[in-house]
Amino acid sequence: MTTPAESTGTPGHQPETGLRADAERNRERILAAARRLYAAQGLCVSMAAVAREADVGKATLSRRFATREDLVTAVFADRMDGYAAAVTEALADPDAWHGFTGYIQAVCAMQAADRGFADVLTMTFPAAKALEARRAGAYEGFLRLIDRAKDTGHLRADFVPEDLVILLMANAGVVAATGDDAPDAWRRLVGHMLRSYATPGAPLPPPAGAPAPTALYRAMVRLSRTGGDVS
């Protein structure tokens, strides 16, 4: 016959199902904290800062995510899926030039929405194989997108894949520098870059308006106070 003590288990001992539930809750708290910090500050955030934001110990964080690359992969897996899906959608566009310009705008919008993802797109994580596999797949799709856009005669013949990397680096800098002061400044940059990629007479999206001078001034003041550090 089972006694009450036997049915409830050893005093102070948490059943395995409870331990699993606690572990999952901690994992979700860590991911939510990392998403908030990365989105606001970029990938410069330390693992210790993530642990504090999640209100867990460093040991708990390291059990869930042994390395920074593990945490970054978990946080940005869905965004990298979206990045890859943007290429697929662009390749499916019957108007190859429209697909190309739409893809450039979509990827830069992803950067603008999340500073952490802006960093992810301009950095490599050799140890994060799943993340890098998604990036490689998106890159292969972009190569096909370039060829299709050039076949329309609207994309300059001297455009190379590295031009996208340069744009993403520049856009990440603009997003970080302007912040909440001029959050749409990146659209102006992307518009100018699309014009530089296009052949004369190529159809282009309407240009975005320039940020208000006062907004850019506030961004410049903020940068001067931080010594130009946008991290």
- 8-12, 71-75, 94-98, 222-226 — which is least confidently predicted? 8-12
Residue that wins the pLDDT comparison between 225 and 34? 34
Sequence-ordered alpha helix ranges (H) in 125-212: 129-151, 162-178, 185-197
Q: What is the mean pLDDT of residues 168-182?
A: 90
Percent of the chain with pLDDT over 90: 57
- Cα(157)–Cα(70) distance, integer angstroms: 39
pLDDT attached to residue 2? 46
Intervals of CATH 1.10.10 along the chain = 16-66
Q: Counting Cβ atoms within 10 Å, is residue 180 exposed (0-12), middle (13-18) or buried (19+)?
A: exposed
Most confident of 1-5, 154-158, 216-220: 154-158
Residue 133 CB neighbour total at 10 angstroms:
12
Q: Which residues contact 136 (CB under 8 A, 6 or more apart)?
A: none
Q: 16-66 — its CATH code?
A: 1.10.10
Task: Write down the pLDDT at residue 7.
Answer: 44
Q: Which of 12, 2, 23, 148 is nearest to 87 (CA)?
A: 148
Residue intervals of the chain classified under CATH 1.10.357.10 are: 76-204
Quote the pLDDT of residue 167.
95
Q: What is the pLDDT of residue 17?
A: 64
pLDDT at 1 over 80: no
Range in 2-6, 142-146, 168-172, 194-198 with the lowest mean pLDDT:
2-6
Q: What is the CATH number of domain 76-204?
A: 1.10.357.10
The 10s digit of each residue's pLDDT in 8-58 is: 445 555 555 655 778 888 899 999 999 999 888 888 899 999 999 999 999
Task: Say if residues 128 and 73 touch (Cβ distance below 8 Å).
Answer: yes
